[in-house]
Amino acid sequence: MKFIKSKIKYLLSSIQKSVSRNGFTLIELLVSITIFGLISTMVVVNFRGGQKQDFLNLSADEIVSNIKKAQTAAVTGELINGEVPAGGFGLHFEKDADSYVYFADDGTHIYNGDLILQEYSLQESVYIDTSIDIVFDPPRPTVYFNNDTLM
């Protein structure tokens, strides 16, 4: 009898050892999915915020470059249709616009339908906050902001 009891105990213990946990419980799966979802949401939100900042920085760099372009054109006396424009070169920014223009000024030091040399588009979700004209009048050049000279 002892022999049979010991064999039964041995068989039961070997059965219990062979049955192991090969999966996850429902709670473990739900917790894992929730954590993954939270982390994914944070990554997406941070990515969009960083992308908007990059668009703004890129647009600012392009505007600075084009201001320097207008200044250089005025200093060097760039010719448009065989002559230097009477008022030099400038940039026109319109409030709430997603683009701006590079123009040859007719001498008024403001944009009033002057010859547009090029139109530039801003990056996605970047807009101009105010209307302003920046004009460089050759040969020195004198700088005008909305027809007011600063130099």
pLDDT category of residue 17 using cuts at 50, 70 and 90: low
Is residue 125 a contact partner of residue 57, using CB atoms and an 8 Å limit?
A: no
Does 142 score more than 70 pLDDT?
Answer: yes
68 in a structural domain:
yes
pLDDT category of residue 20 using cuts at 50, 70 and 90: low
Q: What is the pLDDT of residue 9?
A: 73
Looking up tokens 């064999």 gives 7
Looking up tokens 């970047």 gives 126
What is the percent of the chain where pLDDT is above 90?
Answer: 60
101 in a structural domain:
yes
71 in a structural domain:
yes
**102/4: higher pLDDT:** 102
* Tokens (6 digits) for 139: 């040969």
- Please give the Cα distance from 39 to 121 (Å, whole number): 35
Least confident of 5-19, 71-85, 120-134: 5-19
pLDDT category of residue 6 using cuts at 50, 70 and 90: confident
41 in a structural domain:
yes
Range(s) of the domain holding residue 86: 32-149
59 in a structural domain:
yes
**148/79: higher pLDDT:** 79
10 in a structural domain:
no
Distances (CA, A) of 3 to 9, 10, 13, 64: 10, 10, 15, 94
27 in a structural domain:
no
> Per the structure, how many domains does the chain have?
1
* 3-state secondary structure at position 116: strand
Strand pairing partners for 89?
104, 136
Environment class of residue 18 by beta-carbon count within 10 Å: exposed (0-12), middle (13-18) or buried (19+)?
exposed
14 in a structural domain:
no
* Tokens (6 digits) for 36: 């993954």
Q: What is the pLDDT of residue 151?
A: 53
